[in-house]
Amino acid sequence: MPTRRPPGSAPGWLIGLLALAALLAACSSPPTPAAGTAQPGGEQLVLINKGSDTMVNLALAWAEAYEAVAPGVTVSVTGGGSGTGIAALLNGTVDLANASRPISEGERAAAEARGLIPVEHVVARDAIAIVVHPDNPVAALTLPQLSAMYSGQITNWSQVGGEDRPIVLLSRETNSGTHVYFLEHVLRLGDNEQPIFFSPETLLLPSSEGISAEVRQNPNAIGYDGLGYVTPDMKTVAVARAEGGPFVLPAIASVTSGAYPIARDLYIYTAGEPTGTEEDYLGWVLGPAAQAIVAELGFVPVE
């Protein structure tokens, strides 16, 4: 004789289904913690830091050193380019955006439309080094020559004192702050009203390491990179502002003195004035221990 359920009780199949759903919920992974919030259990605070590929090695070194200073804080660092970092800041997916260029008027307007006020923090300085293959006899170039080369007006090394070889132009991609800075201050020589652009023959590479690798293997190549990425197996070209010099090599001293003509500030942006953990971290970044790391990696400390 079949068993009768008490009135109002759920059927057995429904009870089993509800039990299975509860079990799956219990076994599912916890949600990823939001930027700048403690992980489940309150054991660790995570600062999400994204942006400039020029700064990524520096930011990683800072993050590692900061663990010893503040063991309850993890700084999670990724690259992707200055534009990518600033976009992530505006989207609220990061706490700190690294940038090797100032925020643009368009980006600032987009931030303000979302009720955000980006705050700029200068955390280091950098020289953009002009690099060629070690076998290239060219040792010095002027800014006007570099502008003519990268805009496609000069196409052969013989036109700038080298061998009769075609010039292979290397550049970072357009989302890179280094690309933007080079366009504005080298190709356009500081005059952004000039309709000068990179030659269509320019090879756009996704990383500083990509430029370095191509320069090492291609005797016709010329590229530009943050000084911290220059290695002994590349040749660094001295640069002058105008014909007749002085021609200056990139170095901490020449950037600090203002003698090297292709130098810039490096930034971290926050969405509003930093407080709490963000404020503590940025204060440490501007302190002597973090600025010593800046110099160790080939960048220029802020004074």
Tens digits of residue pLDDT in 33-63: 344 444 444 568 999 999 999 999 999 999 9
Phi, psi (rounded to 5 degrees) for 242 = -150, 170
Domain annotation for the chain: domains and CATH numbers: 45-125+265-296 (3.40.190.10), 126-263 (3.40.190.10)
Question: Does the pLDDT of residue 172 top 50, yes or no?
Answer: yes
Q: How confident is the model at residue 94 (pLDDT cuts 50, 70, 90)?
A: very high
Mean pLDDT over 10-21 rounds to 40
Higher pLDDT, 250 or 33: 250
Mean pLDDT over 227-245 rounds to 92
286 and 148 in contact (C-beta within 8 Å)? no
Residue-wise over 62-96: b if at least 16 C-beta within 10 A, else e? bbebbeeeeeebbbebbbbbbbbbbbbbbeeebbb
Question: Does the pLDDT of residue 6 top 90, yes or no?
Answer: no
pLDDT tens for each residue of 184-215: 999 999 998 889 999 999 999 988 889 999 99
| Residue that is written with structure tokens 């952004």 in the block | 192
Cβ contacts of 179 within 8 Å, gap of 6 or more: 171, 172, 173, 204
Question: Does the pLDDT of residue 231 top 70, yes or no?
Answer: yes
Structure tokens at 289: 């221990």
CA dist 284 and 238 (Å) reads: 34
pLDDT tens for each residue of 270-301: 999 999 999 999 999 999 999 999 999 989 99
Q: How far is CA 274 from CA 77, 118, 171, 270, 279, in A?
A: 18, 10, 34, 7, 5
pLDDT tens for each residue of 98-138: 999 999 999 999 999 999 999 999 999 999 999 999 999 99
Tell how strand 140-142 and strand 235-240 pair up. Answer: parallel
pLDDT of residue 42: 54
pLDDT of residue 17: 34
Higher pLDDT, 32 or 103: 103
Mean pLDDT over 57-85 rounds to 96
Q: How confident is the model at residue 20 (pLDDT cuts 50, 70, 90)?
A: very low
Question: Does the pLDDT of residue 25 top 80, yes or no?
Answer: no
For the chain, percent of residues with pLDDT exceeding 70: 86
216 and 233 in contact (C-beta within 8 Å)? yes
